[in-house]
Amino acid sequence: MSPDPWETLRRSTRARIGLGRAGDGLPTGELLKFQLAHARARDAVHGQVDFDKLAADLAPLPTIRLKSWAGDRSTYLRRPDLGRKLHPDSAAKLADVPPQPWDLVFVIADGLSAGAVQTHAAPMVKACIERLPGWRIAPIVLGEQARVAFGDDVGEALGAELCLLLVGERPGLSVPDSLGIYMTYRPKRGRRDSERNCLSNIHADGLSYALAADKAAWLAREAVRLRLSGVDLKENAPVTGLSAAEVNNNVLK
């Protein structure tokens, strides 16, 4: 049997390259792998986050569970606009949060990958908090059927200076469990996407918790210092406190 010339390149990427052919189609093995990846992507989109377990994973940090206007998963997928709005019943819950000048509110939204949120959100929040000592952090909001702009309503209601929203990213055929972080300075309804900073691809083969938390904390401090976020705030945080091997390998800790 002759050696596969693509094998070396295939080990360095999750992209489907050099799959080969069997007649006019893919080899059976590659076809089955594709079908499995597609099934995992569908499961990620239609999956449900276990918010009770997520709250337990975040303990002893206080949490509060809120909902968007999208009442169920089917509605959420067909009506993206409803997933961006905080439901009035949930808004009323925020009135019970002690009024304080909160520096930061974390919002965890299920987005389009339940697995990403279930696996990565709790350790990611804790890693960020470790890097922001002395910050007044509001109870962590767990948002059901929620998209990125959901954090604007929450942040505005709490009067938070900054919102870091963690969300399950739209799954691809190579990564079904990727987490993203969106940061908005002085969140309020009507914020444009250009007024947010984004860190993406936080998963086992992507951005590590440590590196993502370093960047998020740097962005948060700069946003407060400059009183802005989005395209005017450039992410040029130095890489510190990480070994060269960790940076190179991007291995989750």
Binding site for adenosylcob(III)alamin, residues? 148, 169, 198
Sequence ranges of the binding site: 148, 169, 198
Distance CA 33, CA 118 (A): 24
Place of tokens 């989750």: 252
DSSP element (H, E) containing 63 = strand 63-67
Cβ–Cβ under 8 Å, residues 94 and 129? no
Place of tokens 């890489």: 239
Given CA atoms 184, 186, 192, 195 in this order, what sign does their dihedral have?
negative
Distance CA 1, CA 143 (A): 54
